[in-house]
Amino acid sequence: MGFTLLLISLIILLIIIIAILVSVQKLKDDPYKDLPMDEWNCPECGFMVQAGNECIYCGYTKKSK
């Protein structure tokens, strides 16, 4: 009985440690690091694009500088 309880406790502890390591790894990954964040008005439809180089309404692509 004591050995089984210890084994179950170790398995649960191992699962918790793995979950913490995975969540810390995901916090370090920034999905927006390569996305331009400057706002610009689309000359085709007038929509205010808040992030990226392409208008989501008309598909106009902003020319790079």
> Can you point out the beta strands (E) in 1-65?
40-41, 48-49
Per-block mean pLDDT, blocks of 10 residues, the chain (65 long): 92 96 81 78 91 89 75
Neighbours of 56 (CB within 10 A): 13
36, amino acid identity = P
Q: Which tokens sit at 17? A: 């440690």
* Confidence at residue 15, expressed as pLDDT on a 0 to 100 scale: 97
Helix (H, G, I), strand (E, B) or coil at 22: helix
Instruction: Please state the separation of Cα 8 from the chain's center in Å.
Output: 34
Sign of CA dihedral 34, 39, 41, 47: positive
* Confidence at residue 64, expressed as pLDDT on a 0 to 100 scale: 64
